[in-house]
Amino acid sequence: MTDTTTTGTDLERRLARLEERTRALEDEREVTRLILSYGPLVDSGSADAVAGLWDADGVYDVDELLMRGRAQIAAMVRSDAHQGWIAGGCAHFVGPPHVTVTGDDATAVSYSLMVTHGDGGFALRRATANHWTLHRADSGWRIVTRTARVLDGRPESPALLASGVCAPVASGERA
């Protein structure tokens, strides 16, 4: 296949490059998986597990409520309001995140839908723009900040979406 003599150094270099590429894929997969665990944990009322997705001093900033640190996040899950959603039927449906990993830091953008059940069946209570920043801790990736803004026309919500997704490099003509 190769017409040059393959030396140990060549193999070593290719192996090191592959290790980097595999690590990049694994990091993106771990960040995605962490984000996707939010819905199942919050909709099952797993308060400590939800809080454990964040760094010890992580921030969860929703337009309706600002939470600082794990105790406040767990308290939200245990609140009467949230327990009421679970009792009535509720889905925090988080869409596939668009993740960007840079070393030990990552950002992600995703949509989420909050679907609630009531007498009239299911209703779409919220459609939300989410911007996540994450950091690699000793025990794995954790959320540093999650900023969530409802997409009800307020300008900060589209801005949040744009802030986390870069346009691909333009090639040739532009629109």
Beta-carbon contacts of 152 under 8 Å, excluding residues fewer than 6 positions away, are: none
Angle, CA 131 vertex, CA 129 and CA 137 arms, to 5° = 150
| Residues numbered 74-93 forming contacts with a copy of itself, rule: CB under 8 A | 74-75, 86-91, 93
Q: Does residue 104 touch a copy of itself according to CB under 8 A?
A: no
* Helix (H/G/I), strand (E/B), else coil: 118: strand
Size of the site for a copy of itself (CB under 8 A): 96
| Residues numbered 18-77 forming contacts with a copy of itself, rule: CB under 8 A | 18-19, 21-22, 25-26, 28-29, 32-34, 36-37, 39-41, 43-49, 51-53, 56, 69-71, 73-75
- Token look-up 């690699």 returns 136
Smallest gap from Cβ 150 to a copy of itself, in A, equals: 8
Q: Does residue 148 touch a copy of itself according to CB under 8 A?
A: no
| Residues numbered 107-146 forming contacts with a copy of itself, rule: CB under 8 A | 109, 111, 113, 115, 117, 121-127, 129, 137-140, 142
Greatest C-alpha distance within the chain: 74
Return the residue of 60, 106, 148, 164 that touches a copy of itself, per CB under 8 A.
164
- Token look-up 């449906």 returns 93
Beta-carbon contacts of 97 under 8 Å, excluding residues fewer than 6 positions away, are: 31, 32, 35, 36, 108, 109, 110, 132
Q: Does residue 1 touch a copy of itself according to CB under 8 A?
A: yes
